[in-house]
Structure 1
Amino acid sequence: MSAATRTTQALVTAPLPQIIEKLGLAIAEGQFALDRNSVEMARMMAETEVEIDGQRYNLLALGFTPSFYAYTEATVEAKLSFTLSESTETSVGGSVSGRVGAGLYMAAATVSASYARKFSVEASGSSSIAARLVSLPPPEQFMALLRERQRG
């Protein structure tokens, strides 16, 4: 099986639904990890205190907030390129020579022929997955609960 045939067959039989499903699950897992990290940062900010003019404040009370992120889009892209070329070369050549001497005539003939058929296959494929991540403000309910806990 040629390289072009193998590459074409791999693309045609690619499990596109499974690729999209895995991309979706990877984004969901990534989003969960990002959210968990932001909550952990909020917890660390609540525990980190700074002394100002003899009074102690945690970072949340001073207005610091954890960063939250969200995936806004994801793209799966696959490209395939292949080139197939064929060429045929044929050549025929010959020569005739003769000689006369002492009542004799001699003749000689040579014939040469060649035939070449060439095939060339070039195949390439590539794929990419891209995701866009943006920063979001913390959820308002989360921040309201943190402020309420700071007062109490």
Structure 2
Amino acid sequence: MSQTVSVTQQLVSAPLPQIIERLGIAVADAQRALDENSVRTAAEMATAAVEIGDESYNLLALGFTPTFYAFTEATVEAKLSFSISETTEFGVSAGASVGVNVGVVMVAATVNVSYARKFSVSAEGTSSIAARLVSLPVPEQLEKILRKLSENPPVPAPPTA
């Protein structure tokens, strides 16, 4: 039975704190990457020129803004099911025979004993990680800078030969 107890202890002692820590770090890294992407997009919008008639506008001057995203929730789910069974079988069978032959009596006896102890352990596990993203408005300070930039777009430097 000590083998069964060992398996049970291993199944119950899943590294839940490490799983939660890794999820938190992964969400923080992903959020940073999303923010960096939105800032790069804003810079690209400020330099992308669109010709309308005889005028040239950048995308910010036309009212476009980069999209920002944020994680609103992240869930880690782990399900584990296991079953442990132990069976013991014990069997005894006996037989006897008596034979008489001209004054001689013969007696024979047979005994069969069997013993079996069986352990069975099965485990199944599933896990999933889910995250929810939402679109956010442009941060207020960035929006002020973008509006100011769109009013006075930077003049690109002439190409050097």
Q: What's the TM-score once normalised by structure 1's chain length?
A: 0.79
Scaled by the length of structure 2, what TM-score is found? 0.76
Q: Which runs of 5+ in 2 are unaligned?
A: 153-161
Counterparts of 1:117 and 1:75, CA distance in 2: 43
**Alignment: residue pair count:** 148
**Partner residue in 1 for 2:10:** 6
For 1:1-152, list aligned pairs within 5 A. 2-8=6-12, 10-11=13-14, 14=15, 16=17, 19-152=19-152
- Rounded to whole Å, the distance in 2 between the matches of 1:45 and 1:90 is 82
Q: What CA deviation, in whole Å up to 9, does each residue of 1:2-50 have, x standing for no partner?
A: 3222222x33xx362x654454343333222211110110111111112
The one-letter code sitting in structure 1 at the alignment partner of 2:91 is S
Q: Report SS of the residue matched to 2:73.
A: strand
Separation in structure 2 between the aligned mates of residue 135 and residue 92 of structure 1, nearest angstrom: 75
Aligned alpha-carbon RMSD (Å): 2.4
- 1:89 offset after TM fit, Å? 0.6
- The sequence identity of aligned pairs, in percent, is 57
Structure 1 residues without counterparts, runs of 5 or longer: none
Query: What is the rounded CA distance, in whole Å, between the counterparts of 1:21 and 1:99 in structure 2?
Result: 81
